[in-house]
Amino acid sequence: MENRNCRDQIILATKVAIPLTKKIIIASVEESLKRLKTDHIDLFQLHSWDETTPLEESMKALNGLVEAGKIRYVGCSNFSAEQLEESLLISNEKEFARMNSVQPPYNLVQREIESDLLPLCEEQQIGVISYSPLAAGFMTGKYQRGKNVPEGTRFDVIPGHQPIYFTDHGFSVLEKLEEISKEAGQSMVQLALAWVLAQKRVSSMLIGARNISQVDQVFEAQKLSQSDEFRTIMDQLN
């Protein structure tokens, strides 16, 4: 009974990667239930769009798992507004469980979802679980325009991130954030996190914490995002 009470106090979410065939989705859920030693997953998500598997096949598999009680809600990650809308149409036509959440990258540099995905989610009452609030570490101040990438940092280990953020726009945002950080007496990390948390369309935010202090800084950022002081800062960040 004690273990059951503990389980009910958390929201357990996991994903399945492509290919998103019926067989793989069902196997992924069964394996997750076994590894996590639980009888249900609260939120089960499709990790990304699959060009090789019909979306209806994936949605039908998810619906069967919801009906079986093995997952409670379904979501997706890295779907565009058009792709999410297609999933909603299938759910309406086939009476399948609909997407309850979407997980996109969102930060001060990557704001493309503001034009279409966020309005769609607001209209359809779909939760937004944003990730990469620090732009893969770009917003921490480790990187500077025209200078070498520090060895061992994420942009050194995973250079594929560089084309996304190492742009004129990216560095302009970074330099503005650094300036505001000095004026406000708040760290760049706290401001970047607080900005995401303050967005009314964001339901929750994912962080890649490596230690307890990085978790604690999110709670501090949450307090900051709710303060009167931050409303003024938000105007400058926007």
Closest to 119 measured CA to CA, from 97, 143, 102, 107: 102
Residue 42 pLDDT > 70: yes
Q: Which DSSP string corresponds to 195-230?
A: HHHT-TT--EE-----SHHHHHHHHHHHHHHTSHHH
Closest to 10 measured CA to CA, from 54, 52, 42: 42
Closest to 142 measured CA to CA, from 165, 116, 113: 165
What's this model's pTM, rounded to 2 decimal places?
0.91
Residue 3 pLDDT > 70: no
Q: Report residue 2's pLDDT band, with 50, 70 and 90 as the boundaries.
A: very low
- Map out the domains of the chain with their CATH numbers: 1-103 (3.20.20.100), 134-201+208-238 (no CATH)
Which string of b and e fits 141-157 if b means at least 16 CB within 10 Å? Answer: eebeeeeebeeeebbee
Q: Tens digits of per-residue pLDDT, 176-231?
A: 999 999 999 999 999 999 999 999 999 999 988 778 888 888 889 999 999 988 98
Q: Tens digits of per-residue pLDDT, 92-112?
A: 999 999 999 999 999 999 999
